[in-house]
Amino acid sequence: MTRYVMVADLRRCVGCQTCTAACKEGNATPPGVQWRRVLDLESGTYPEVSRVFMPIGCQHCANPPCLEVCPSTATRQRDDGIITIDYDLCIGCSYCIMACPYDARALSDRPHYAFGDAPTEAEAAGAHAKMVGVASKCTFCAGRIDAGTARGLIPGQDPEATPLCVNACISGALSFGDIEDEHGRIVKLLAENRAFRLHENEGTEPGFYYIWDKGTL
């Protein structure tokens, strides 16, 4: 069984937001809606503090609270662990937004373009119009994964089958792949480094791991 996850190496991330820009460009999300964000956080207490850049977004949880509350079944979980939203089913009640402990979802209630009143080329080509009035979030670029795997490519290894944010990352902080692949990069990364997941106590089993090392960031 495949389960796609993302790994962010917090020692490598420099907070450049290139992943944010790549996601926004590729998915044509409305202004104010960012599926991939990089938080600028402080960790520890004085004088033992570090500045940490933390990429976040949908954690593609194994036990997603958003799926449980969704009244329309628009939110679904694929066999490969990716959580999707069917824009044609969603009623835009925002309940999933209230249920997500990771603040990963957003709703844009009217057509809203990046530049003026008309859509850009990317906005016109993407699902921008379908996103109005419904919840949206990171899809792990499921369309790219599906198109890539159909051609025999491997997500996380072959750029054409890999999420845009991972491809764009300038420092190699973001990695993507199948956590069930015992010989894959993800398992190796997690075996060789210390890692944590956000809000582990929620029982959501996020598919997003953060690497740190030897007690320091």
List residues near other proteins by CB under 8 A: 15, 17, 20, 37-41, 43-45, 48-50, 52-54, 56, 65, 67-74, 89-95, 97-103, 107, 109, 132-134, 187, 190-200, 202, 205, 210, 212-217
Hunting for tokens 């036990």 — which residue is that?
63
Q: How far is the CB of 125 from other proteins (least distance, A)?
A: 22
Contact present, 104 and 58 (Cβ < 8 Å): yes
SS3 letters across 146-192: HHHHHCCCCCCCCHHHCCHHHHHCCCCCEEEEECCCCCCHHHHHHHH
Q: How far is the CB of 166 from other proteins (least distance, A)?
A: 20
Cβ proximity to other proteins: between 50 and 157 the closer is 50
Which residues is 135 bridged to in the sheet? Answer: 107
Cβ proximity to other proteins: between 92 and 159 the closer is 92
**How far apart are the C-alpha atoms of 49 and 43, rounded to whole Å?**
5
Cβ proximity to other proteins: between 63 and 160 the closer is 63
Q: Which of 63, 91, 90, 87 is nearest to 77 (CA)?
A: 63
Cβ proximity to other proteins: between 2 and 72 the closer is 72
Tokens of 203: 């029982």
Q: How far is the CB of 153 from other proteins (least distance, A)?
A: 26
Q: How far is the CB of 46 from other proteins (least distance, A)?
A: 11
